[in-house]
Amino acid sequence: MNARTEAKEYAESPQALPAGETEPVRIYVACLAAYNNGVLHGRWIDAARGEDHIWEETRAMLAASPIPDAEEWAIHDYEGFESASLEEYSSFATVAALAEFIGEHGRLGAELYSHFGNDLEAAHAAFEDYAGEHESLAHFAEDLNRDCGPAIPKCFEYYIDWEAMGRDMELSGDVFTIETGFEEIHVFWSR
């Protein structure tokens, strides 16, 4: 392949996806020997297929490099990881585990990963304290009270400020939230 073909391959990415389809979780791994010699050589690799697949594709890409005996690689781009970020030298084990986590939890998983400072173990553990998806913290506070609290007489219901209760729960550190869309608030109990 020549540099023009490689540049075209690099530029190829899905435009608008049909409703219900998600963007493929993949990384662009570049050959650093070629890159340092002014040649764009690399390959988009499906990260959801696991660490072994990523290594296999990286070895094949390096073997096909226009620079003989190329050994070094770097992640120059990625897509489908929602809001999660990868570093240029993220391990393939981390990339594959994150791809699996995002495949399972979607945008919520990516937001949790970011919330915990790119700590995948903490993001996994957070689901043990997941309190569900709600329209708002006010709805969560009201639902929690109705499920667990004392019965409130109908004549007093309108005097309760559920919004303030929900906000206070978050400000006091009892819960934290991840918002994934309009009226899509995911509530987690804090540890």
* Model confidence pLDDT, tens digit, residues 134-146: 999 999 999 998 8
Domain map of the chain by residue range?
3-118, 129-189
- The predicted-structure confidence for 120-136, as pLDDT tens digits, reads as follows 999 999 999 999 999 99
Angstrom distance (rounded) from CA 78 to CA 13: 10
Give the per-residue pLDDT at 22: 63
* Tokens describing residue 24: 């493929």
The CA–CA distances, whole Å, from 84 to 26, 87, 173 equal 13, 10, 24
Give the per-residue pLDDT at 158: 84
Give the per-residue pLDDT at 5: 46
User: Is 151 or 172 the better-scoring residue by pLDDT?
Assistant: 172
Task: Check if the beta carbon of residue 39 is closer than 8 Å to that of residue 6.
Answer: yes
Q: How many CB atoms lie within 10 A of CB 137?
A: 21
Angstrom distance (rounded) from CA 106 to CA 80: 9
CATH number given to 129-189: 1.10.10
175 phi, psi to nearest 5 deg: -135, 160
- The predicted-structure confidence for 43-71, as pLDDT tens digits, reads as follows 999 999 999 999 999 999 999 999 999 99
Angstrom distance (rounded) from CA 191 to CA 172: 13
One DSSP character per residue, 42-84 reads EEEEEGGG-HHHHHHHHHHHHHT-SSTT---EEEEEEESSTT-
Beta bridge partners of 26: 46, 79
pLDDT higher than threshold 60 for residue 89: yes
